[in-house]
């Protein structure tokens, strides 16, 4: 007979549609045990020990129903869980609420004695003393739990406060780091002293660097060796990849003023005809020659990102002047100096 609904458990239900309490051995239908499908299957396959509510309450009150709960039973009845401490507290509080509900139901069934002057039976009086004693223990335990929860709340508040302070410090440190980075990269760019890169030179032609530079100055109507300017140095490099195959001439130690003059004249000439390798070299052709300011890797990355934004239509102009990167959203809008990635946020 089922321990809950009192309906007999049929023979064919004993294998996989009913379970037995591990203490009292009473059978329970699958619909009466209160377990979900997964836990019910674990009980059926002997992976989990199960106890009915009557045996659980008797165990908590110190009474024995059937056989006593052994250590092995406790191990079998415990399942590995990844629950947090808060989840476990809530689960245990749910159990306590269920037990208190049972206590309330039992209290409603208490029948008062015959009258005020009729003494209570000694056995019943002892039980009431035990009840009061256990209620007092529960009250003290609740006080301990309340104090513990208050301490946890204070600790959590302190952790949050420390976290906010740390976050504020991180913001200050990040801002200081950005300022140091900007200053360092700006100093590296200044150390290039107006270096220029001449791109688009023939790949297989031997280049006379100094003569090529003088030809560019003559073409742009610039004095090739002004008395006040330092002597430039040259470096030829080859670039070869899937899209480009050329030589490049880097002109270093020009000085910021002379480099700015060359770039200004080059931009004016590019609007008219532009420079070609035929105008600068005997073995040249009609391919255009480009002159760019030599940027550090940091500013090259910023310039590339700015050009990507221009292709996406989020800004209209991006250019360099004296090793400094500028950008403008529209023709008449404000000009921004781009010194850090965050400066490009004005255009996103």
How much is the pLDDT for 57? 66
Answer for the pair 283, 188: CB distance below 8 angstroms, yes or no: no
How much is the pLDDT for 121? 77
The DSSP symbol for 252 reads E
Answer for the pair 244, 203: CB distance below 8 angstroms, yes or no: no
Q: Domain extents for the chain?
A: 1-51, 91-111+119-191, 196-293, 297-346
| Alpha carbons 125 and 134: distance in angstroms, whole number | 14
| Alpha carbons 281 and 205: distance in angstroms, whole number | 10
Please identify every stretch of the chain with a pLDDT value under 70, giving residue numbers as ranges: 6, 11-15, 57-83, 111-118, 120
Positive or negative, the CA dihedral 115, 117, 122, 127 is: positive
Answer for the pair 192, 296: CB distance below 8 angstroms, yes or no: yes
How much is the pLDDT for 199? 92
Q: Is residue 306 packed enough to be buried (19+ CB in 10 Å), middle (13-18) or exposed (0-12)?
A: buried
| Alpha carbons 206 and 219: distance in angstroms, whole number | 21
Q: How far is residue 10 from each of residues 1, 24, 196, measured CA to CA in Å?
A: 9, 19, 96
Q: What is the pLDDT of residues 201-222, one digit of tens each?
A: 988 888 899 999 999 999 998 8
How much is the pLDDT for 150? 87
Report helix, strand or coil for 317. Answer: strand
| Fold type of domain 1-51 | Herpes Virus-1 (3.30.40)
Beta strands in 223-304 (DSSP E): 233-240, 245-252, 290-293
Q: Which of 346, 265, 340, 256 is nearest to 303 (CA)?
A: 340
pTM over 0.85: no
10 Å Cβ neighbour count for 268? 11
Beta strands in 21-61 (DSSP E): 27-29
Percent of the chain scored above 90 by pLDDT? 28
| Alpha carbons 13 and 32: distance in angstroms, whole number | 13
CA gyration radius, the chain = 44
* Residues pairing with 27 in the sheet: 20
């Amino acid at each position: 007979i089922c321990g809950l609904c009192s309906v007999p458990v049929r023979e064919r239900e004993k294998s996989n549609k009913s379970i037995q309490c591990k203490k009292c051995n009473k059978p329970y239908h699958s619909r009466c045990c209160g377990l979900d499908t997964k836990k019910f299957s674990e009980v059926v396959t002997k992976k989990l020990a199960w106890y009915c509510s009557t045996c659980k309450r008797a165990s908590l009150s110190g009474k024995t129903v059937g056989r006593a709960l052994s250590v092995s039973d406790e191990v079998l009845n415990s399942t590995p869980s990844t629950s947090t401490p808060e989840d476990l507290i809530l689960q245990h509080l749910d159990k306590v609420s269920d037990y208190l509900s049972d206590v309330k139901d039992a209290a409603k069934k208490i029948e008062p004695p015959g009258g005020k002057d009729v003494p209570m039976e000694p056995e019943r009086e002892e039980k009431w003393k035990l009840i009061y004693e256990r209620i007092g223990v529960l009250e003290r335990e609740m006080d301990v739990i309340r104090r513990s929860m208050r301490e946890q709340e204070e600790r959590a508040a302190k952790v949050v406060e420390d976290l906010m302070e740390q976050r504020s410090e991180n913001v200050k440190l990040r801002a200081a780091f950005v300022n140091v980075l900007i200053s360092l990269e700006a100093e590296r760019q200044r150390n290039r002293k107006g270096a220029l890169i001449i791109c688009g030179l023939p790949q297989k032609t031997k280049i006379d660097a100094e003569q090529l530079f003088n030809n560019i100055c003559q073409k742009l109507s610039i004095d090739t060796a002004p008395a006040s300017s330092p002597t430039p140095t040259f470096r030829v490099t080859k670039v070869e990849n899937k899209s480009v195959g050329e030589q490049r001439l880097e002109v270093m130690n020009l000085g910021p003023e002379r480099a700015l003059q060359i770039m200004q004249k080059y931009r004016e000439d590019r609007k008219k005809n532009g420079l070609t390798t035929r105008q600068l070299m005997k073995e040249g052709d009609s391919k255009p020659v480009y002159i760019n300011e030599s940027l550090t890797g940091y500013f090259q990355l910023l310039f590339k990102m700015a050009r990507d934004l221009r292709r996406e239509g989020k800004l209209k102009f991006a250019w360099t002047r004296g090793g400094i990167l500028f950008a403008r959203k529209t023709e008449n809008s404000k000009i921004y100096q781009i010194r850090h990635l965050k400066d490009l946020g004005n255009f996103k």
